[in-house]
Amino acid sequence: MNKFMKTTTLTLAAAAMSVAFVAGAQAREWRGWNIHPADYPVSTGMEEFARLINEKSGGNLEAKVYHGGVLGDQPDAIQQVRLGGLDWAVFNLGPLGEVAPEANVVSLPFIFKNVDAMHDVMDGPAGQQIADGLANAGLQALGWYDSGARSFYNTKHPINTPEDLKGLKFRVMSNDLYVQMVGALGGNATPMPYGEVYQSLKTGVIDGAENNYPSYDSSGHFEAAKYYSVTQHLILPECLCVNKALYDGLSDDEKKILQEAADESVKVQRAAWAERAEQSKEKVVAAGIEVNEIADKAAFQDAMKPVYDNFIKANPDLAGLVKAIQDAQK
């Protein structure tokens, strides 16, 4: 080997080593699951979180968001983030109730008076207890995003009283509480992935579903089911979650970066949510859907008694949490 070759080889070896060193020092890119399209408020919040952790860590932490449910449906993605097949996500607390009973308390219909009350509860001790439950299920909760209030919509007629649900088949999210909820109101419920709802409404496999205005709009469901009845039976927060083992492996500084980024992204998401909720409502009304407000929801609320009773019977240790949430809103 001549002198030139020797130097070159050494230089190349050094370069290769430094590449290996940089790659080793830099974390791999975290894969984030998102069910919504890129222009949705959840997506804006997630992009902000990813941007901030990268900025605050000087490029050492990297996260990418896969929008539009391309990484699978929500119940599967929840299992994936728990097991580490995916790294992070924003999940609705509805399907999360299937893996953490504490999270299910927010799926008790009408448990929150309004969105502000939900924020107060989630940002306080009850929210912490729910976060602890999620941690036991392998999910580190970093913040609570907004998802407004969910109401029923269908292809047949306005719903003014529980009797109006009779004979109608509604898609619900994957959670047995929702099957009970629709059943207690006199309708039929079928759990189904979000991505299948549009086609099922179009083909008459189901008569209706339930969701907030932004999802009713962005999913196109309003094109198929034009009666939107403002029952607001569920006010479900959403969780910005990271795989627990991944989180536990971070340094204290990195954990702090994640929490700060999450807190800032929560503010951005909640502001984007408020704006989008108005816009979506205006859009669907302009498109000709029929909205009916329900002045007195007492009949709907009263019908939920067996759902609450069953829940407490099956989860006696959560009776205190249910009561704490109710008392906090008095």
Judged by the rule CB under 6 A, the positions of this chain that interact with ligand GTR are 35, 74, 92, 94, 147, 173, 194, 211-212, 215, 238
Task: Find out whether 81 and 89 touch, Cβ atoms under 8 Å.
Answer: yes
Q: How far is CA 208 from CA 22, 156, 172, 228, in A?
A: 53, 8, 9, 10
Between 57 and 72, name the residue whose CB sits nearer to ligand GTR: 72
Q: Phi and psi (nearest 5°) for 303?
A: -65, -15
Between 110 and 194, name the residue whose CB sits nearer to ligand GTR: 194
Between 52 and 78, name the residue whose CB sits nearer to ligand GTR: 78
Between 184 and 197, name the residue whose CB sits nearer to ligand GTR: 197
Between 151 and 212, name the residue whose CB sits nearer to ligand GTR: 212
Minimum gap (Å) between residue 74 Cβ and ligand GTR:
6
Q: What is the CA radius of gyration of the chain?
A: 23
d(CA 77, CA 86): 7
Nearest Cα residue to 218 out of 114, 145, 147: 147
Minimum gap (Å) between residue 221 Cβ and ligand GTR:
9
d(CA 201, CA 260): 41
Minimum gap (Å) between residue 258 Cβ and ligand GTR:
21
Task: Find out whether 45 and 265 touch, Cβ atoms under 8 Å.
Answer: yes
